[in-house]
Chains A and B, each alone.
Chain A
């Protein structure tokens, strides 16, 4: 197939990808959109196979088969709670593939003088560097989320200086390549150095900040794909990479805003280790504990109930029980809604997926800005496994490390029931004054067991 014809088909792919994202604007069309995207991808693959000068050989079919099996098994088996790891992994392999393509391009082009245009070599370096950072960083993010290594920030003296030195070295090698050096070892320096940087850059970031990191790595892989497009003169790669880059960047900024932290602070702050409790007013007061029967009565005779799910709910696998409770309450004509904080879960939108899996209808899931004005009319708020996102200190204690972070104003509701395993602090290690407010009562115990107790108590009424 000639270049013009294949470019025409690649244009179809581009349109399919844009439609795929466009259809994601509503849950009713989103699934169809994903299919359109997959069709676009299939077109691109077939067109590339039909390129004149393409030798299919064994590498393409065998590589495709191995990769597809891994992808398919992973995608089918992954639990919804483990989705952040999965996304991190797919991010990583994409970045890795982009870096490898650049490695081979440089290897093949460099020995021929006059073959390398300045802009192409810039693209080669950019794609190799960003792709390798994304690959290694994503693997570390995966390991952290999968709890293969500790989720707490890992820090050591001279960390920032060391990282700075490393990235400076990598950039120097890249600049030497751009300046015209065709030494192959420079490429190795870029790839290895960038990989080490990727590892060191994600290691110090705490588990609570993973939503930001995954979004950022998503953007990185997009940029790497776009750079690969410049390298190969392929519009479809340029556009697709730009779309992914835009998406990842927007999500990163959104997550940063939802935590009221600059991206720089997330990446270099090693949150959860340094600031924990520093300067925050100590929480004093007594905690009121209630039993499941009392809570069941409160819920059954309420008009409006809002459930605030946190990652603790997902860890306890309580989402199905929560849904059952909501069903029982709805039978008693109680209006049940869910308040979803933007950083609930371990990646953007994670909590919505977890609840959708438990068959919670998506029209009952409310965003923070939508639900906050409704709390004053809410009779009972049920906080399940969430802590920092309902901490009023974020609103009124300038000394608190999370001060300024937008929260769910559950303290405006008539009654708040907090379900917690114990009085331990949240992921960020911060005290929560909500627990000692007069309108708050605590229901201690495992989230799933407690919710199941509530279900049977409501049924018995």
Chain B
């Protein structure tokens, strides 16, 4: 596949992803907008893939080595923190407890 054919494929994917994103996100109730935000935060942690490619380069020069290392720290904090904090929040959302009636 030539470079520009691939570019067109990528642009197609981008366009579809944007519309899909709008579709899916608009179904999220305002109740969950904070977890949505921290959840999407975790998802953009996918830059960890890019950070790994830089940090894992063979024979990096000084700049690439250090930049890759720092990018790796930032991206790892993003991924781990994002998913953990989202889980912590979502755990708290509970429905009215049915056991209340049993107590009465």
Contact = CB atoms under 8 A, between A and B. Distances in A.
Interface of A: 13, 17-18, 20-22, 24-28, 30-31, 33-35, 37-38, 41, 44-45, 48-49, 51, 53-57, 59-60, 62-68, 70-72, 74-76, 78, 80, 83, 86-87, 89-91, 93-94, 96-98, 100-101, 103-105, 107-108, 117, 119, 214-215, 218, 221-222, 224-226, 228-248, 250-251, 254, 340, 342, 347-350, 352-353, 356-357, 359, 361-365, 367
Contacts of A340: 30
A246 B42 contact: no
A55 B54 CA distance: 10
Contacts of B70: 63, 100
A247 B77 contact: no
A82 to B, nearest CB: 11
A332 B95 CA distance: 20
B96 A83 contact: no
Given A100-B68, A367-B30, 12 more contacts: A33-B39, A34-B83, A56-B56, A59-B65, A60-B56, A63-B71, A74-B81, A86-B38, A243-B21, A246-B25, A347-B34, A367-B29
Contact residues on B (Cβ < 8 Å of other chain), bracket: 35 or more
Interface of B: 3-4, 6-7, 10, 13-14, 17-18, 20-22, 24-58, 61, 63-65, 67-97
Given A31-B87, A75-B84, A90 B77 contact: yes
A244 B44 contact: yes
B33 A251 contact: yes
Contacts of B32: 24, 27, 30, 349, 352
A94 B55 contact: no
B33 A349 contact: yes
A33 B33 CA distance: 14
A53 B42 contact: no
B41 A349 contact: no
Contacts of A107: 61, 63-64, 67
Contacts of B37: 87, 214-215, 218, 247-248, 251, 347-349
Contact of A38 (B17, B35, B42, B48): B42
